[in-house]
Structure 1
Amino acid sequence: MIRLLLALAATVGFGLLLASCNTLSKEECVAADWRVIGESDGAAGYEPQQRFAAHAKSCERVKIVPDQTIWFQGYQTGLVRYCTPLSGLARGQSGGGYANVCPPETASGFLRGFNLGAKQHGLQERLNSMQNDYSSKETEIDELSDRLKDAKDGDRSELRRRIEDLEDDMHDIRRDQRDVQDDLDRVNEDVEWFQRNPSAELPAPGY
């Protein structure tokens, strides 16, 4: 009986996993406006071949074949909205990737924004990671300090040494945080400038 329940649970879980991979529901396939769907996909920056193939796979369940020509016309329209400098900035800031979908005439502007946003995102992530590390060591010091109160003489020196090592680590983290924060402040200034002047090159080199 237990084996049967486990098998059923595994089957249901696998079915849910497959369902979660579908880009469109059965109802969406039946009612699909492929131009609108294509435009939405282009505006989101999806890689076209993979995205359309995923739609086709989703709609096999109801024996519907997507209209690739109409979908691609919509995709091209959406791509115009996606391939802008400010869209690239937002994509980079979100930590998302880039599927190399923008045509040459708009790719450079998109990538200027994308690279700047990605740098801002990366620096913020580093700061967050440092703060988490600092808080973790702070908690560990509190725990060691509590143990120190009731420790035997033979253990006290070892506990103090571990606390001192953690305090040294925290000092190093704070120093590195200041450096990263300085970098982030400069990038934030560049982002503000870029938002006002999305079509111009940044005055500072390197992005």
Structure 2
Amino acid sequence: MIRLLVALAATVGFGLFLASCNTLSKEECVAADWRVIGESDGAAGYEPQQRFAAHAKSCERVKIVPDQSIWFQGYQAGLVRYCTPLSGLARGQSGGGYANVCPPETASGFLRGFNLGAKQHGLQERFNAMQNDYSSKETEIDELSDKLRDAKDEERSALRRRIEDLEDDMHDIRRDQRDVQDDLDRVNEDVEWFQRNPSAELPAPGY
């Protein structure tokens, strides 16, 4: 299957993608320890077929063919480090994706951590976006207030209405932020518990 994907890498779509994003430099191809490279790829959770095909495409430039079997031995060793509950948690917290690479016996633990980390990451991103929106509206109010001081009478009413609308929006943002912060606090507590008990199910369902 991997050899098939290497061949497919020469096709227009996949080939252009890999050519534009070499995974290894020419020097790295020449000096490659394919087991070490495979272990690094596995520990990072790369999808194996696409990753090996990308290496093969990168090393075509110097006419080097990666050692598939040695690379895959390293990949499997690296995957053992990747497919753990705490690794899943870190992956989810970073906002990264999951390529469905863990075997059944470790996938459930990895996914428990990954889903919890992804929930924490999503809530934090949402909270930050609200804060940015709040700050943007706050800045706009300051600018409008400056304009208001020098505005003509016929402009003052419109400026005041816009300021009032922005203040209402800011009030709503703060209310929604409190709800998100409550959710985030609960998830942060679950994360702390999970870090101490990575092999156990969370006591509260839903994550």
Cα offset, 1:9, TM superposition: 27
Cα offset, 1:115, TM superposition: 0.2
2:149 counterpart residue number: 149
Q: Cα gap change, 1:12/1:156 in structure 2, threshold over 3 Å: closer, same or farther?
A: farther
Runs (5+) with no aligned partner, structure 2 = none
Q: Cα gap change, 1:8/1:138 in structure 2, threshold over 3 Å: closer, same or farther?
A: farther
Deviations 1:134-191 (A, max 9, x none): 0000000001000100111111011000000000000000000000000000000000
TM-score by length of 2: 0.91
Report the 3-state secondary structure (helix = DSSP H, G, I; strand = E; otherwise coil) of the residue aligned with 1:10. coil
Cα offset, 1:5, TM superposition: 38
Cα offset, 1:67, TM superposition: 0.6
Cα offset, 1:90, TM superposition: 0.2
Please list every run of at least 4 consecutive aligned residues from structure 1 whose deviation after the TM superposition is greater than 2 angstroms: 1-20
Report the 3-state secondary structure (helix = DSSP H, G, I; strand = E; otherwise coil) of the residue aligned with 2:205. coil
1:38 counterpart residue number: 38
Please identify, of 82-91 and 7-16, the stretch whose mean Cα deviation from structure 2 is larger. 7-16
Cα offset, 1:110, TM superposition: 0.1
Please identify, of 119-128 and 6-15, the stretch whose mean Cα deviation from structure 2 is larger. 6-15
Cα offset, 1:80, TM superposition: 0.4
Please identify, of 180-189 and 2-11, the stretch whose mean Cα deviation from structure 2 is larger. 2-11
Cα offset, 1:15, TM superposition: 15
Q: Cα gap change, 1:70/1:10 in structure 2, threshold over 3 Å: closer, same or farther?
A: closer
Cα offset, 1:77, TM superposition: 0.4
Mapped to 2, the partners of 1:6 and 1:101 lie a distance apart of 19
Cα offset, 1:4, TM superposition: 41
Report the 3-state secondary structure (helix = DSSP H, G, I; strand = E; otherwise coil) of the residue aligned with 1:27. helix
1:180 counterpart residue number: 180
Cα offset, 1:20, TM superposition: 6.1
Q: Would you say the 8 A contact 2:89–2:116 is kept in 1?
A: yes
Deviations 1:2-57 (A, max 9, x none): 99999999999999998761100111101111011000000000000000000000
Cα offset, 1:91, TM superposition: 0.1
Please identify, of 129-138 and 14-23, the stretch whose mean Cα deviation from structure 2 is larger. 14-23
Mapped to 2, the partners of 1:74 and 1:59 lie a distance apart of 18
Q: Cα gap change, 1:64/1:3 in structure 2, threshold over 3 Å: closer, same or farther?
A: closer
Cα offset, 1:96, TM superposition: 0.2
Aligned residues: 207
Mapped to 1, the partners of 2:175 and 2:88 lie a distance apart of 32
Mapped to 1, the partners of 2:26 and 2:77 lie a distance apart of 25
Mapped to 2, the partners of 1:3 and 1:83 lie a distance apart of 25
Mapped to 2, the partners of 1:171 and 1:147 lie a distance apart of 23
Mapped to 2, the partners of 1:183 and 1:133 lie a distance apart of 19
Q: Cα gap change, 1:13/1:141 in structure 2, threshold over 3 Å: closer, same or farther?
A: farther
TM-score by length of 1: 0.91
1:114 counterpart residue number: 114
Deviations 1:49-98 (A, max 9, x none): 00000000000000000011110010000000000000000000000000
Q: Cα gap change, 1:65/1:10 in structure 2, threshold over 3 Å: closer, same or farther?
A: closer
**Pairwise CA RMSD of aligned residues?**
7.9
Mapped to 2, the partners of 1:145 and 1:198 lie a distance apart of 53
Q: Would you say the 8 A contact 2:9–2:53 is kept in 1?
A: no
Q: Cα gap change, 1:50/1:167 in structure 2, threshold over 3 Å: closer, same or farther?
A: same
